Structure 1
Amino acid sequence: VRIARTWIILTWIVPTVVVVIIWRWLLSSSGGMINPLLIQAGVIERPVGFFATREGAMTTLIMINSWRWFPFTTLMMLAGLTRIPGDLYEAARIDGAGTFQRFKRITWPLLQPTLMVLGVVGTLLSFNVFDVIWLLTAGGPSGATQTLPVLIYETAFKGYRLSEAATISVLTSILLMGFAFL
């Protein structure tokens, strides 16, 4: 269990730049490892440019960020599961409850607080994703991956409109604080 937890958290502690370099290499249409695997599996016929289309770029970024935050989610779920007393499962088993019934009546309801925290934290963190997006696509192609942090960065440092970028930042912060306190 200890080794599994170490492997799970390993992807979370790797620096973002290293993660981006690895994913850029894996997803490269000219020399990456993913395209040949998908071609051999019969999923695609020719190499795909994962960052070449609007839909492909956003989908790929969502998958990379999901992979990046999977360890945090897993550790939170493990913490939530260890909070559930084993006696409840034993009593349900004695009463004749099957696996699905135990999940439906015990696990799912008692995991709701953990899932709620994960939902709020995940939403708040998704508004702060800048590094992976900027390093992989810089908001492209054609603005497809331009999120609020990318917009703020471009407004401030490319357009030199610092007051406008500050206004967007403050309004975003107010919106997120309101969401967090609901």
Structure 2
Amino acid sequence: MKLSRRRFLAFTGTTAASAATLGDSLLFNPARAAESSQQPGKVNLDYPTIPVGKAGDLRVGQAVSFTYPDSSSPCNLIKTGRETRGGVGPDSDIVAYSILCTHMGCPVVYSAEERTFKCPCHFSVFDSELNGQMVSGQATESLPRILLSYRASDDSIEAVGVEGLIYGRQANILPSA
């Protein structure tokens, strides 16, 4: 039996739509995502709150290493020395990013002179003062930004979430073993 182009397209279109609907209903989110009652459709992940340092201990341009949201995710905390969008601290100049390049996961290195993160593997460059935006290179996405909170009472900085997807993950929060 010969299949006409019209019947073939109708069949494949129906099959694809059915698969997409079924796949959407069967998705499992290992991060235990919950729908927000304040914003229906928005997903909230159960990010841990982890102390990462004191604002007064930071020096301009010096990267401070930590891991977040788990020990398999290296990050850098940077005091930029100028007010930065999304920055915290007394001068709103403290930011943090995952240091796994969004191209292939190589660890990026912070350059205080250029105020950028550079990937030594494939030469992508990310702007530390513009939300980790990709400036040049092979990467097509910005570095995931680590959301921070600042408490003036004890000068402490805590990591509280991630904006963007950490390289190599389907969800930023890994499932419990």
Give TM class, smaller chain: under 0.3
Structure that is richer in strand per residue? 2
Structure 2 length-normalised TM = 0.17
Structure that is richer in helix per residue? 1
